[in-house]
Amino acid sequence: MKVEIRNLTKHFGDLIAVDSVSLTFEDGKLTTLLGPSGCGKTSTLRCISGFYEPDEGEVYLGDSVVNQVPPHRRNVATVFQNLGIFPHMTVFENVAYGLRVKKRPKSEIQDRANELLRMVGLGDLGERYPKQLSGGQQQRVALARSLVVEPGVLLLDEPLSDLDAKLRVEMRKEIRKLQLELKTTMIYVTHDQEEAMAISDYLAVMNEGKIKQVGNPAEIYRRPDNEFTARFIGKANYVNGQILAVEEEQVSIDLPFGSILAKRTSDDIQTGDEVGIMFRPTEFSITDEKEGVNVIAGTLITSMFLGSLIRYEVDVGMEDNIMVDVPEPEADTLLTEGQELFLRILPDSIYLIPV
């Protein structure tokens, strides 16, 4: 089922949690609302599930406005952050609950609940009580309980936040697998950008109650179109600068640590424009040349060995230090802190963001 919100606004007293947000969630796809805590993603979700009534705007489930419809009459199911598993019911009873409420025939309840339990890999544990299960298993119970009612849309509110790192990775694969198998429309809320990128068809980056950017994960990562997204998604160095000159293929930009050349990515760049510059830590090389195009001098502040790469923090005379990742480091190339070094940025890897 397609879900759409139009000009959705939700206040809590003076605080505007959701600020006139419009967004379409495609049918059969997994869309993630991604943003830091307090950005309004959960409030948006609760307006869709019906636990909040929007102050302004509309929520469409399919083709109908559901603003006035109470949660239990919406064709929506939610996996809650704390799961909300019923501790006094067995795993099977938990999963069967939605069907029992809807007064489905006994045999159907039996079959459907068992089928879902099998799908989430809990086929044998139906008679157990939730407290006898591990965190990951409880997660699966919550998923099965919501999916059993065949909701038009499944909402997931940071469902993995209480799990440890390894289990989180495993469960997000599981959720994605189920989503592709059942083709359920899902709206997923998280603040973990890696999780969001791994799981989603589409990402909507949110901050301060507003949508900052929408797109598929690769687009968002490679071509952030605003400072917030650039800083929030992935490790990034972000600098504000001014266009010095515009040429056919390249532009030259004035930055606090000197001027550099970058690839011209759009037509409407004028000399004198204020722009943001983003470059990923991997897009540097350490060079022996002391001068040249796009070569920056700096002082090494810290180096961190991270296994497959080494991360340098370099002071180039700005407020923020620059992060540089060097892949496959060899022990003898390790630089010492306080050392002078020179970095080269490739013109193609610099991404301009309109301010």
Partner 1 sequence: MVFNQFYRYIRRNTLNVILLFLLVTFILYPMLTVFRKSFMVDGVFSVANYVKFFLNFRYVRILLNTFAVAVPVTVISTLFGFVLAYSAVRLKIPGSGLFRRLALFPLIIPPFLAAFGLSLFIGRNGFLTRLLNLSWNVHGWLGIVIVQSIVFIPYVYLTLEGSVQSLDPTMEEVSRDLGAQEFYTFRRVTMALLTPSLLNSALLVFILSMADFGTPMLIGGRFRVLSVSIYVAMVGALSRVGWAAVMGSVLLLPLLGVLIIRDRLIGEKSYITVSGSRAATSYRETSWYIKLPITLLLGVVSLLILLIMGTVVVMSLVKVPLVNYTFTFQNYPELFQSFVSVPTLLKNSIQMSAVAALIGTVVGLAIAYVSVRHESKIGNFLEYIALVPFAIPGTVFGVGYILAFSTGWIALTGTWYILAINVAFHNLPVAVMAGKNQLQQIDKEMEEAARDLGASGLRVFKDILAPLWRPAFYASGIYVLVTGMRTISAVIFLVTPQFNILAVKLLDLLERLHLDLGTPLAVVLVAIVLLIQTLLYQLSGEKGLGL
Site string for partner 1, 26-55 (x = CB under 8 A): -----------------------x-x----
- Closest contact distance (angstroms) between CB of 80 and partner 1 is 4
Of residues 101 and 355, the one with the C-beta less far from partner 1? 101
| Residue with smaller CB distance to partner 1, 102 or 222 | 102
> Minimum distance from CB of 193 to partner 1 (Å)?
25
The site that binds partner 1 (CB under 8 A) totals a number of residues, namely 26
- Which CB, 82 or 216, lies closer to partner 1? 82
In SS3 terms, the chain reads as CCEEEEEEEEEECCEEEEEEEEEEECCCCEEEEECCCCCCHHHHHHHHHCCCCCCEEEEEECCEECCCCCHHHCCEEEECCCCCCCCCCCHHHHHHHHHHHCCCCHHHHHHHHHHHHHHCCCCCCCCCCHHHCCHHHHHHHHHHHHHCCCCCEEEEECCCCCCCHHHHHHHHHHHHHHHHHHCCEEEEEECCHHHHHHHCCEEEEEECCEEEEEECHHHHHHCCCCHHHHHHCCCCEEEEEEEEEECCCEEEEEECCEEEEEECCCCCCCCCCEEEEEECHHHEEEECCCCCCCEEEEEEEEEEECCCEEEEEEECCCCCCEEEEEECCCHHHCCCCCCEEEEEECHHHCEEEEC
- Judged by CB, which is closer to partner 1: 51, or 305? 51
**Residues of span 68-107 touching partner 1 by CB under 8 A:** 70-73, 76-78, 80-88, 97-98, 101-102
- Interaction pattern, residues 141-160, with partner 1; x per rule: CB under 8 A: -x--xx--x-----------
Site for partner 1 in 102-141 (CB under 8 A): 102
**CB of 118: closest distance to partner 1 in angstroms?**
20
Contact residues toward partner 1 (CB under 8 A) are 49, 51, 70-73, 76-78, 80-88, 97-98, 101-102, 142, 145-146, 149
